[in-house]
Amino acid sequence: MKILVPVKRVLDYNVKPRVKSDGTGVDLANVKMSMNPFDEIGVEEAIRLKEKGVATEIVAISVGPAKAQETLRTALAMGADRAILVQTDDDVEPLALAKIFKAIADTEAPGLVILGKQAIDGDNNQTGQMLAALTGWAQGTFASAVNVEGDHVAVTREVDGGLETVKLKLPAIVTTDLRLNEPRYASLPNIMKAKSKPLDTKTPADYGVDTTPRVKTVKVSEPPVRSAGVKVADVDELVAKLKAMGVHS
Amino acid sequence: MKTLVWVEHDGKAVKDATLAVVTAAAKLGEVHLLVAGSGVDAVAKEAAQIAGVGKVHVADNAAFDHNLPENVAPLVAELMGHHDAFLAPATTTGKNIAPRVAALLDVMQISEILSVEGPKTFTRPIYAGNAIATVESSDAKLVLTVRGTAFDKAAMTGGSGTVETVGAGSDAGISSFVGAEIAKSERPELTSAKIIVSGGRALGSSEKYQEVIVPLADKLNAALGASRAAVDAGYVPNDYQVGQTGKIVAPQVYFAIGISGAIQHLAGMKDSKTIVAINKDEDAPIFQVADFGLVADLFNAVPELTGKI
């Protein structure tokens, strides 16, 4: 079984985003960029399925600028077998991304596509579900466990009240949640080896996908700031403050 | 504009998450609801009472139980033939279904809206709430998920919607529900609680969480929450997590105990009316957003607070 793992190059999760003063977006000039953490979990899960003998080949895909090659090399260094860069400088929306991944799935015929549940820049949480709609495949979103059993996959999902398990016919779409696994670090020899793994470069047009945005960003602004209140000296003072607000047993 | 709102329910009653979505939908136009599942008459009747509701579409079919998106999304897409906007709560259920509907309609979804600025213009958080984007859709139809804490809840009474049965629907046959581990609790739900008591990694263990956090929550009839660090360390189950990747909450009072205040946690609770922080590190970022901060050892301060409140 082949597994596709889409990965996105995003602002590193340790970097505090700064809104540009002209209100057009978040400043991405000269800041550290990394693989979206949820996608990293997706790559790791694919590698584990390969190590278990369930998967035979892992194809990493990224839609983004030339520099997204670095993100793909990271996936290859972790253990993906080959990569496809769909190169564009446009900011591609989830719907267009899903269309590109659908076109790739049509030719690659994977058993699973494992995506991060959301990218930590746009926080859309859409692409996996949209890909499932376009392919007509079943979806297991926000996964905390993935078990392939014959021609089905059991996906345990993190839902609001706790956990829920669904059984999906393969091929299927899985999106990862935080507790699915802890991604490995690529070793130095594997980073070196990744440099010679195959990486194809394509464009959205190669897949017949129009990436013109459907949603226009009018402006991007700072969130309202919450100011610090007071420090209380001890528990008695805190109790008095709370009681004054009507908070008591 | 005719809107269609996804009613989140447990088979017996309408869930609270639905009410904020009704408020958001009413800002766009006429509010219709969709109740899907088997034996949902009682839910539909209750939904028809929600203030401002016009029509309640009921799709009674076991294929819609457990909200399997493979079965539910085609139903919604069909109903969207005569509606202009589909709105769902930004819960795990809404987030699972809405994008599948959007793609079936060839529409870009707008996720987790915070406000309605115009018929096609909305605000939404990006970068874990570190920035707020104002966005405008150019699609013919709208698909939106709504952040519950950003809109007032519509009243559960006062409405007089008409209940109408819609097409039978079918099982796509590609997915099935196996089971769930849903915590049963007498406590208020995290996302609708008036008071939340949350514990962080400083507690050090599951036992200490039970020993220190739970009694305070019991005394205040509060919901229990936790930081991601406490969940990852296994002190409490995942559904306790408050934060960008967990639950977004906005109670009257939020107690952050032994929580340092990482950006991702703040993103989930900074809209709380009053924030109380107890932490022994006086430089912890949580104090920058807290209305009342107490620099103290939580193992002494919290039991004392529980005793005196």
Per-residue pLDDT tens digits for B192-233: 889 999 999 999 999 999 999 999 999 999 999 999 999 999
The helix/strand/coil state of B52 is coil
How many CB atoms are located within 10 Å of the residue B265 CB?
Answer: 28
Alpha-carbon B294 to chain mean position: 29
Give how far the C-alpha of residue A94 lies from the chain's centroid of Cα atoms, to the nearest Å. Answer: 11
Chain B neighbors of A17, CB-CB under 8 A: 127, 130-131
Token output for A3: 């597994």
- Does residue B134 contact residue B123 with C-beta atoms inside 8 Å? yes
User: Which of A219, A23, A123 lies closest to B133 in space, CA to CA?
Assistant: A219
Cα dihedral B197/B202/B205/B209 (nearest 10)? -20
Cis amide prior to A171 (ω within 30 degrees): yes
Q: Are B41 and B123 in contact (CB under 8 A)?
A: no
Other Cβ atoms within 10 Å of B205 Cβ, number: 12
User: Distance (Å, rounded) from C-alpha A141 to C-alpha B290?
Assistant: 34
- What count of other Cβ atoms lies within 10 Å of the Cβ of residue B16? 16
pLDDT at B244 over 90: no
CA atoms within 13 A on the CB side of A117: 19
Say yes or no for a CB contact (<8 Å) between B239 and A158: yes
Which residues face B292 on adjacent strands?
A230, B276
Contact status of A225 with chain B (Cβ, < 8 Å): no
Measure A84 CA to nearest chain B CA, in Å. Answer: 23
Tokens for B46, please give them: 């209750």
In contact, A169 and A152? CB cutoff 8 Å = yes
Give the nearest partner residue to B96 out of A98, A141, A226, using CB atoms: A141
> How much is the pLDDT for A204?
98
Longest CA span, chain A: 69
- ipTM value of the model? 0.95
Q: Which among B131, B134, B293 has the least Cβ separation from residue A229?
A: B293
Put simply, the answer to whether B179 touches A165 (Cβ < 8 Å) is yes
8 Å CB contact of B238 and A162: yes
CA separation for the pair A213, B98 (Å, rounded): 19
Q: Do B109 and A220 touch (CB under 8 A)?
A: no
DSSP A52: T
Closest among A201, A228, A237, A210 to A97, alpha carbons compared = A210
Cβ atoms of A125 and A38 closer than 8 Å: no
Q: Listing from the earlier edge strand, what are the strands of the sheet with B131-137? A: A215-221, B131-137, B121-126, B115-118
Record the pTM.
Answer: 0.93
- Under-50 pLDDT residues of chain A: none
pLDDT digits (tens, 9 = 90+) for B126-178: 998 889 999 999 999 999 999 998 999 999 999 999 999 997 788 999 999 99
Indicate the SS3 state at residue A194.
helix
Answer yes or no: are the C-beta atoms of B256 and B277 closer than 8 Å. yes
**Does the beta carbon of A122 lie under 8 angstroms from any beta carbon of chain B?**
yes
At residue B188, the pLDDT reads 85
Interface of B with A in 198-257 (CB under 8 A): 219-220, 228, 231-232, 237-239, 244-245, 247, 252-253
Q: What is the pLDDT of residue A14?
A: 84
Please give the Cα distance from A46 to A150 (Å, whole number): 16
More confident residue, B179 or B244: B179
Three-state DSSP at A237 gives: helix
The reported pLDDT for the residue numbered B247 is 87
Q: Does A141 touch chain B (CB under 8 A)?
A: yes
pLDDT attached to residue A39? 98
- pLDDT at position A214 is 97
Give A75-130 pLDDT, tens digit per residue.
999 999 999 999 999 999 999 999 999 999 999 999 999 999 999 999 999 999 99
| CA distance linking residue B294 with residue B297, whole number of Å | 9
Give the closest residue to B131 by CA, choosing from A25, A72, A110, A134.
Answer: A25
Q: Are B248 and B147 in contact (CB under 8 A)?
A: yes
pLDDT of the residue at A16: 86
* CB contact (8 A) between residue A123 and residue B111: yes
Do A247 and A143 touch, CB atoms closer than 8 A?
no
User: Residue A101: enclosing H or E segment and its boundaries?
Assistant: helix A94-108
Per DSSP, the residues of A3-20 read: EEEE--EEE-TTSPP-B-
Q: Which residue has the tokens 């769930």?
A: B180
